[in-house]
Amino acid sequence: MRTISTSSTTGETTLGAVSASPPSPPAHDAERRPVVRERLTVPWWWWPPALLVIGLLAAEVHMGYPGVRAWLPYVLLLPIAAVVLVRLGRSTVGVITVGGRPGSGTAGAAADEDEVVAGLAHLPVRFVGRTDVVAGARKQRALGPDLDPEAFVLHRPWISSAVRLEVLDPDDPTPYWVVSTRHPDRLVEAIREAARGPGWADPA
């Protein structure tokens, strides 16, 4: 499994992409069962101001065009604003169990495997080393002067905490992940619980 970070930032959203080697089996070949999953939605209080601004903009157009055309800005702009807010918060992070993955069991047999997922990226739990919760000033440093250019970052600026995961995969040049989450302790505990499952070897 190889993680590729496409960009990094100190304050804005950054999303890396992932290419797997060998590629993961299609969804119909491997059942994906969430253990812990969190959607990084925008705060609910973003919605009223955003819709209000769009409503005022639509009203400005409304006053300048009589008849049916006066309602077109409302019909077009309000749904667009809603779609943008939903898409901003569509990324998920968590731990999933991939059932029946070839080669993950003894002697190459198919077996269940736990993975950490962040957006489109996925990392088998057996390749996760040290886990740290970063928040406040620690998060600022982790995404600023202490950020490794090779790190994979899934950052959402409206979320105040994140988790840093060390990557132990020898074939992966990514040193670690930094992933936003509203529930860092729950995510870390889920990773540790998965790590204590069958077939896990303590990296220490």
Phi–psi pair at 6, nearest 5 degrees: -85, -25
pTM to 2 decimal places: 0.70
Q: Look at residue 163 and tell me whether its pLDDT is greater than 50.
A: yes
Model pLDDT, residue 21: 37
CA atoms within 13 A on the CB side of 159: 25
Instruction: Give tens-digit pLDDT for 32-52.
Output: 677 889 999 999 999 999 989
Tell whether the model's pLDDT for residue 136 goes beyond 60: yes
pLDDT at 146 over 60: yes
What is the percentage of the chain residues whose pLDDT exceeds 90? 55
Domain boundary assignment for the chain: 2-26+115-195, 44-88
Q: Where are the alpha helices (DSSP H) in the chain?
A: 47-64, 72-88, 137-142, 184-195
| Whole-number pLDDT of residue 31 | 64
The β-bridge relationship of strands 92-101 and 31-39 is antiparallel
